[in-house]
Amino acid sequence: MKRPKKMLWLSSMLFIAIASSCCYGQAQQQNHKNDVTQNTTSNDTLQTIKLDKVKVTWLCDNAEEKRMPISLFKDTPDSIISKLHLQDGLPASVSTFLVQTEGINILFDTGNGIADSQLFSNLSKTGLTVDDIRYIYLTHLHGDHIGGMLANGQPVFTNAEVYVSKTEYDAWINTPSNKNIQQKQVMEVYKDRLHLFTPGDTLPGHITSIDATGHTPGHTAYQKGKLLIIGDLIHGAALQIPYPEICASFDMDKTKAIQARKALLKLAKENHLVVAGMHLPAPGFKTNFNDLK
Ligand SMILES: [Zn+2]
């Protein structure tokens, strides 16, 4: 296992050019600065945006409509549920993101890897195969993020170097547990090309890793210029952006999860970042944080 060098992250001027490709909806093209969601239909499963010299593609993994039930957010007052009309659940997704920069292809998380997962069909629509993925950067080791890495126990990404926070790795692998069978199997299969880093380290492609601990012990966000990939910082955007103090029951350390959510949403709002989230509703991007308190 190797460790990457630390470097300063680069900030750049925001320029978004959207080339949208849809499974069911219309292809659309536009340039704008503030809201990449406004011209996208809910049936899209693939969308590419350009931020300066970074090309990022949302690759939807879920085939069926994904909604998070309001029961996942146990601390939500009834008054907020009715005010925001959340009784029938919150629009969400299971998403991965392909970042193409400096001539390399980086995949952030790999989805569920189940029979109807769309990651691989969506990846092929970008003109790439799994063999073209040079790096996989994991936000954390839950099954809906590492499930796509194995097929029948074999590695799916034959050429990819895999990066995960050392804290996250240690928490899952070195801690006695009967709930880490999948994590152990995936990490074992990729052990010869596994890299453990400390949040703050800069990874190949000049991607900065950011501590976002709370959802899991080593949950990690990533930034390159105006792009901020937040993993599972948010499970129900309609609720947790206006009320970031509300956790999903998946958050393992609620105090730290709230701190991370507030800090990174503030960072995004103040710096006009494009946020890419693994459970944000289609198209997986969020840029408008006017509803953030
Ligand atoms: Zn997840």
What's the pTM value of the predicted model, to 2 decimals?
0.87
123: amino acid identity, one letter: L
Q: What is the pLDDT of residue 290?
A: 80
* Spacing, Cα 69 to ligand 1 middle (Å): 14
Q: What is the pLDDT of residue 44?
A: 75
Measured distance CA(275)–CA(268) in Å, rounded:
7
Domains in the chain: ranges and CATH:
16-286 (3.60.15.10)
| CA dist 262 → 151, 247, 265 (Å) | 37, 11, 5
Measured distance CA(237)–CA(241) in Å, rounded:
6
Give burial (CB, 10 Å; 0-12/13-18/19+) of 219.
buried
pLDDT in tens, the chain (293 residues): 544 444 333 333 333 333 333 332 333 333 333 344 433 333 478 999 999 999 999 999 999 999 999 999 999 999 999 999 999 999 999 999 999 999 999 999 999 999 999 999 999 999 999 999 999 999 999 999 999 999 999 999 999 999 999 999 999 998 887 889 999 999 999 999 999 999 999 999 999 999 999 999 999 999 999 999 999 999 999 999 999 999 999 999 999 999 999 999 999 999 999 999 999 999 999 988 887 76
Q: What is the pLDDT of residue 221?
A: 98
Measured distance CA(49)–CA(130) in Å, rounded:
21
* Spacing, Cα 229 to ligand 1 middle (Å): 13
* Spacing, Cα 13 to ligand 1 middle (Å): 30
Q: What is the pLDDT of residue 200?
A: 97
* Spacing, Cα 26 to ligand 1 middle (Å): 28
**Residue 245 zone, left/alpha/beta (φ > 0; ψ -120 to 50; rest):** alpha
* Spacing, Cα 44 to ligand 1 middle (Å): 20
**Residue 181 zone, left/alpha/beta (φ > 0; ψ -120 to 50; rest):** alpha
* Spacing, Cα 144 to ligand 1 middle (Å): 5
